[in-house]
Amino acid sequence: MLQRFFIGLLFLVTSSTFAQDNFPTKPIRFIVAFAPGGGTDILARLIANEMSKNLGQPVIVENRAGGSGAVAALATISATPDGYTLMVGGSGPMVFNPVVMSKMPYDPDALVPVTIFGSYPIVISARSDLGMNTLADLIKRAKEKPGALNYGSAAVSFQVPAEYFAQRAGIKLQVVPYKGTGPAVAAIMAGDIELIMADMAPAVSLLKSGKAKALAVTTAKRNPAIPDVPTVAESGIPGFDASLFSALVAPAKTPPAIVRKLQQEVAKVLTTPEVKARLDQLGVEPEGKSPEETAARIKREIATYGPIAKAAGVRE
């Protein structure tokens, strides 16, 4: 009896090792936490396409927007932890939801980080007809009329960094929430709001329209897609750095060897000239960090933004 047990155990271990060594043997699914056309969706499709070529298996992108990433997170958590169902989310589901939600609809610990695709800034832009040409102009106007400047925000991942900026600048801004960056862009073009906090792709399109002017990017370095736009730190708030990221995560209990292989495949894709060129156009800094580095960043940012959100009263 005992002999049969050990033979069965050896078979399971050998089968598991074989499955990991030969991974993948069927299509992989990327569940994107946002609607088609956004920055994270564009990144997911770009990387999925290249991974499909390298792995010899399709990497299928499926959009499951809703609940600030909760719909995608729950779908991923409920999947078999074998590396074939993964979530592409990022700062919102992984950092800001745990920070601002009083009751989480999913357990963040039920997801394990695989890697970060890339990081990108929030672009702080003002309506062109208001005569605010620099961040100093914005801060001066906001101090003259506290709370009179409205900014459009599509999610708490924009709102909390915006409040971080306001706290550091010593000003009060009024958030106007929208269900997406598209409606927020439409609102500033229509003159309904004065400011917008947006990620790179919609921000660049808005700037080209001439309806808004970029005042600063929130990252520590200038962005190559809009190199003439200074950073918040350069504009008078030293040390300011608030970047967003898009990341790949897997259900907890996914074998570490498979998690590592997925991370290595993403890192490989991010070094190809074609992908790097496209990321430059999108204003995304490629990363491909290890699972451990990704987990450390998530932990660090939760610790940073928790007190900021609490002080600003940002809760959901």
Topology (CATH) of 27-120+243-312: D-Maltodextrin-Binding Protein; domain 2 (3.40.190)
268-300: pLDDT as tens digits: 999 999 999 999 988 899 999 999 999 999 999
Angle at 158 between CA 164 and CA 105, to 5 degrees: 110
Give me the half-sphere count of Cα atoms (radius 13 Å) on the Cβ side of residue 178: 21
Q: How far apart are CA 23 and CA 15, in angstroms?
A: 12
Number of H helices, E strands in the chain: 12, 11
> Do you know the residue count of the chain?
316
Tokens 């399709």: give the residue: 58
What Cα–Cα distance (Å) separates residue 48 from each residue in 45, 117, 247, 291?
A: 5, 11, 13, 18
Residue 201 CA to residue 198 CA, distance in Å, equals 8
Cα 157–Cα 287–Cα 263 angle in degrees, nearest 5: 105
In this predicted structure, which of 15-24, 118-127, 166-175 has the lowest mean pLDDT? 15-24
Domain boundaries of the chain, sorted by first residue: 27-120+243-312, 123-217
CA angle 174, 175, 181 (to 5 degrees): 145
CA 66, distance to chain mean position in Å, is 15
Spatial distance between the Cα atoms of 13 and 98, rounded to a whole number of angstroms: 36
What CATH homologous superfamily does 123-217 map to?
Periplasmic binding protein-like II (3.40.190.10)
Summarised one tens digit per residue, pLDDT across range 6-49 is: 344 444 444 444 446 789 999 999 999 988 877 788 899 999 99
The average pLDDT across 133-137 equals 97
Residue closest to 109 by CA, chosen among 295, 289, 246: 295
Integer Cα distance of 261 and 246 in angstroms: 18
**Structure confidence at residue 20 (pLDDT):** 61
Evaluate if residue 304 carries a pLDDT over 60.
Answer: yes
Q: ω before 286 within 30° of 0 (cis)?
A: no
Residue 26 CA to residue 208 CA, distance in Å, equals: 43
pLDDT given at position 201: 79
Structure tokens at 240: 């300011």
Per-residue model confidence as pLDDT tens digits over 225-248:
899 999 999 999 999 999 999 999
Q: To which H or E segment does residue 145 belong?
A: none
